[in-house]
Amino acid sequence: MKNILPLLFCLLFPEALFAQSPKVVFEENFESGTERWEMLDPATWQLKKSDDGSTFEITERGSKYKPPVRSPGHVALIKDLKVGNFDITFRVRSTKDTGNHRDCCVFFGYQDDQHFYYVHLGAKPDPHSGQIMIVKEAPRLALTKNEKLTPWDDEWHTVRVSRDLKEGMIKVYFDGMTEPHMEVADRTFGAGRIGIGSFDDLNEFDDIVVRQW
């Protein structure tokens, strides 16, 4: 009887045969430079080296990259990687106190410069800040109505964003949160490129890990 149970389970639940555990498909600590990244305005990004190691930094609030519709100006995309179901985790430090405007962004489902999602981790939320956004041939639009502050300061923080295509769920975590800081379901875009950046603020990034399943 015991030998039959695994077979019966697979017959009743064939999707279990294809279940996969998340696997690491990209890791970056910038010790080997930034060759694996495409910056839409390279002049505003730099590799920062110190005794503690290398990081990837936005150096100017303004950007020569002018998106075709209103959306972030600082975008760095991972080269040669498209993901559907994914989990990205990284460390980030806000390097300029702009008060309620402090932010960092995570890009995903990126098809081109007019079709993508991004998470905007703005310090003080409003319809254009601190939300999960979509860009679809029009200025960015909030998919969420988040009212939670993002507790920026001058220290390093950990950001995690995950997406499940089947459920359409997008979840965002900040530091040690066990419950999402923001979440929404949307299936407009499927698999796409993934990246980091900011709308118009200064950030330093390190220790990026992307998992896919």
Summarised one tens digit per residue, pLDDT across range 36-80 is: 999 999 999 999 999 999 999 999 999 999 999 999 999 999 999
Asked whether residue 181 is assigned to any structural domain, the reply reads yes
Query: What confidence tier does 4 reach under pLDDT thresholds 50, 70, 90?
Result: low
Q: State mean pLDDT over 82-89.
A: 97
Percent of the chain exceeding pLDDT 90 equals 88
| pLDDT surpassing 90 at residue 7 | no
| pLDDT surpassing 70 at residue 3 | no
Whole-angstrom Cα distance, residue 169 to residue 54? 33
| pLDDT surpassing 50 at residue 18 | no
Q: Average model confidence (pLDDT) for the chain?
A: 92
pLDDT digits (tens, 9 = 90+) for 113-164: 999 999 999 999 999 999 999 999 999 999 999 999 999 999 999 999 999 9
Domain that holds residue 194: 20-212
| Residue closest to 106 by CA, chosen among 189, 171, 178 | 171
Task: Report the half-sphere exposure of 83 (CA within 13 A, side-chain side).
Answer: 27
pTM over 0.85: yes
Supply the CATH number for residue 54's domain: 2.60.120.560
Strand partners for 206: 91
Query: What confidence tier does 8 reach under pLDDT thresholds 50, 70, 90?
Result: very low
H helices present in the chain, as ranges: 4-12
Asked whether residue 11 is assigned to any structural domain, the reply reads no
| 213-to-83, 87, 164 alpha-carbon distances in Å | 9, 9, 9
Asked whether residue 144 is assigned to any structural domain, the reply reads yes
Instruction: Indicate the number of domains in the chain.
Output: 1
Asked whether residue 14 is assigned to any structural domain, the reply reads no
Asked whether residue 124 is assigned to any structural domain, the reply reads yes
Give the pLDDT of residue 21.
80
Whole-angstrom Cα distance, residue 132 to residue 50? 33
Asked whether residue 29 is assigned to any structural domain, the reply reads yes
Query: What confidence tier does 9 reach under pLDDT thresholds 50, 70, 90?
Result: very low
Asked whether residue 92 is assigned to any structural domain, the reply reads yes
Q: Kindly tell me the burial class for residue 193, based on how many C-beta atoms sit within 10 Å of its own C-beta (0-12, 13-18, 19 or more).
A: buried
